[in-house]
Chains A and B, each alone.
Chain A
Amino acid sequence: MSEALRIVWIYPDLLSTYGDRGNLLILGRRAAIRGIPVETYSVRSDQPMPSTADIYLIGGGEDGPQALAAQRLINDGGLHRAVNQGAAVLAICAGYQLFGHSFFAKGAKCPGLGLLDLHSDRGETRAVGEIRGDIDPRLGLPPLSGFENHGGRTHLGPDVAPLARVTAGIGNDGQTEGAWHGKILGTYSHGPALARNPAIADLLLRWAIGADSLSPVDDTWADRLRAERLAAAGA
Chain B
Amino acid sequence: MLKPDSRQLDVTSRSGTLVAVTDGKMPLRAKVATSVSKTAAALSRAAGRGDGSVIGGWIGLKIDPELLTHLAAGRAIALVSGTNGKTTTTRLAAAGLGVLGPVATNSFGANMPTGHTSALAKAGATPFAVLEVDEHYLARVIDETNPRVVALLNLSRDQLDRAKEVAMMAQMWRTALAGHPDVAVVANADDPMVVWAAQGASHITWFSAGQRWLDDSFVCPESGHPIERANGDWWCAGCPLRRPTAQWRVEDDGVVDPRGDWHLVKLQLPGTVNIGNAATALAVAAEFGVRPIEALPRLSTVASIAGRYAQVDRDGRNIRLLLAKNPASWLEAFDMAEQSPTLLSINARDPDGFDTSWLYDVDFSPLHDRPVLITGDRAYDLAVRLEVNGIAFRHVLSFEEAIRSVPMGRLEVIANYTAFQDIRAELDRVN
Q: Which one of B165, B166, B354, B380 has the highest number of Cβ atoms from chain A below 10 Å of its Cβ?
A: B380
Interface residues of A in 182-220 (CB under 8 A from B): 190-192, 195-196
A111 to B389: give the CA distance in the assembly, Å.
Answer: 37
User: For B226, what are the chain A residues with a Cβ–Cβ distance below 8 Å?
Assistant: 13, 45-46
Q: Which of B57-65, B268-276, B356-364, B404-412 contacts A (4 or more CB under 8 A)?
A: B356-364
User: Does B157 touch A at the CB level, under 8 Å?
Assistant: yes
Cα separation A46 to B228 with both chains bound (whole Å): 11
What string of 1s and 0s marks CB contacts (under 8 Å) between A81-112 and chain B?
Answer: 00000000000000000000000000000000
In the assembled complex, which residues on chain B have CB atoms less than 8 Å from the CB atom of A45?
226
Q: How far is the CB of B132 from chain A (nearest CB, A)?
A: 26
Q: B380 touching A224 by the CB < 8 A rule? A: yes
CA distance A79 to B355 in the complex (A): 30
Contact with A along B343-372 (1 / 0, CB 8 A): 000000000001111111100000000000
Chain A: CB-nearest residue to B380: A225
Q: Is there contact, CB below 8 Å, between B219 and A13?
A: yes
Nearest chain-B residue to A64 (Cβ)?
Answer: B224
Closest to A45 in B: B226
On whether the beta carbons of A191 and B380 are closer than 8 Å, the reply is no
What residues of chain A lie closer than 8 Å to B157, measured between beta carbons?
A: 17
The smallest C-beta distance from B134 to any residue of chain A, in angstroms, reads: 19
A190 in contact with B357 given A128-B162, A225-B381 (CB within 8 Å): yes
Give the chain A neighbours of B167 by CB distance below 8 A. 62, 64
Interface residues on B, range: 20 to 34
A179 to B161, CA, bound (A): 23
Q: A22: which of B160, B218, B357 is its contact (CB, 8 Å)?
A: B357
B219 engages A191 (CB within 8 Å) = no
Whether the Cβ atoms of A19 and B387 lie closer than 8 Å is no
The residues in B between 371 and 390 inclusive whose CB is less than 8 angstroms from any CB of A are: 380-381, 383-385, 387-389
Whole-angstrom distance between the alpha carbons of A45 and B224 in the complex? 12
Q: Are A26 and B388 in contact (CB under 8 A)?
A: yes
Kindly state whether residue B215 has any CB partner on chain A within 8 Å: yes
CB interface residues, A 11-35, toward B, < 8 Å: 13-14, 16-22, 25-26, 29
In the complex with contacts A13-B226, A68-B219, A225-B381, A191-B360 CB distance below 8 A: yes
User: How far in angstroms is the closest Cβ of chain A from B166?
Assistant: 7
- Binary CB contact string for chain A from 64 to 89 against chain B (1 if under 8 A, 0 otherwise): 11001000000000000000000000
- Residues in A with CB closer than 8 Å to B161 are 128-129, 147, 149
Which residues of the partner chain A approach B357 to less than 8 Å between Cβ atoms? 18-19, 22, 147, 190-192
Q: Is the interface of B mostly helix, strand, loop or mixed?
A: helix
Within the assembled complex, what's the spacing in Å between the Cα atoms of A224 and B387?
13
Return the contact of B160 from the options A18, A20, A224, A228 (Cβ within 8 A): A18
| Contact between chains at B160 and A17 (CB < 8 Å) | yes
Q: Which residue of B lies closest to A193 (CB)?
A: B357
**Contact among A16, A128, A147, A195 with B384 in the assembled complex (CB-CB below 8 Å):** A195
Knowing A26-B388, A64-B224, A225-B383, say if A147 contacts B361 (CB, 8 Å). no
Q: Is the CB of B380 within 8 A of A29?
A: no
Cα distance, A83 to B388, chains bound together (Å): 28
Q: In the docked arrangement, what's the CA distance between A217 and B428, Å?
A: 43
Assembly CA distance A48 to B20 (angstroms): 67
Chain B minimum-CB-distance residue to A149: B161
A230 to chain B, nearest CB (A): 12
**Total A-B contacts with CB atoms under 8 angstroms apart:** 85
Digit string of A122-166 for contact with B (CB within 8 Å is 1, else 0)? 000000111000000000000000010100000000000000000
A149 to B167, CA, bound (A): 17
Q: Which of B355, B384, B388 has the most CB of A within 10 A?
A: B384
> Which residue of chain B lies nearest to A16 when distances are taken between CB atoms in the complex?
B215
Contacts of B359 in A (CB 8 A): 19, 22, 192
* Chain B residues positioned under 8 Å from A129 (CB to CB): 161, 354
We find that the number of chain A residues with CB closer than 8 angstroms to chain B is 33
Q: Is residue A222 within 8 Å, beta carbon to beta carbon, of the partner chain?
A: yes
Contacts of B354 in A (CB 8 A): 128-130, 147
Q: Which residues of B lie under 8 Å from residue A228 when comparing CB positions?
A: 380
A17 to B226, CA, bound (A): 16
A16 to B167, CA, bound (A): 14
- Residue on A nearest B363 in the bound complex, by CB: A21
Q: How far is the CA of A14 from the CA of B388 in the complex (A)?
A: 23
In angstroms, Cα B162 to Cα A22, docked, is: 21
A13, A21, A46, A68: the one contacting B360 at CB < 8 Å is A21
For B143-182 the 0/1 string (1 means CB < 8 A from A) is 0000000000000010011100111100000000000000
Q: A192–B383 Cα gap in the complex (Å)?
A: 14
Q: Give every chain B residue within 8 A of A13 (Cβ-Cβ).
A: 218-219, 226
Residues of chain A within 8 A (CB-CB) of B166 are 62
Known: A225-B381, A228-B380. A18 touches B388 (CB 8 A): no
Which residues does chain A contribute within 8 Å of B383, judged by CB atoms? 221, 224-225
The CA of A224 and the CA of B374, in the complex, are separated in Å by: 15
Given A17-B160, A68-B219, A128-B162, A191:B384 Cβ within 8 A: no
Smallest beta-carbon distance A194→chain B, Å: 9
Contacts of B160 in A (CB 8 A): 17-18, 149
B168: which A residues are within 8 A, CB to CB?
A: 62
* B241 → chain A closest CB, angstroms: 15
Nearest B-chain residue to A146, judged by Cβ: B357
Q: A65 and B219: CB pair below 8 A? A: yes
Given the interface pairs A14-B218, A16-B215, the reply to whether A225 lies near B384 with Cβ below 8 Å is yes
11 more CB-based (< 8 A) A-B contacts, given A19-B357, A64-B219: A14-B219, A16-B361, A17-B160, A19-B361, A29-B388, A62-B168, A68-B219, A128-B161, A129-B354, A225-B381, A225-B383
Subset of 9 A-B contacts with CB under 8 Å: A13-B218, A19-B357, A22-B359, A22-B360, A65-B219, A129-B161, A195-B384, A196-B384, A224-B383
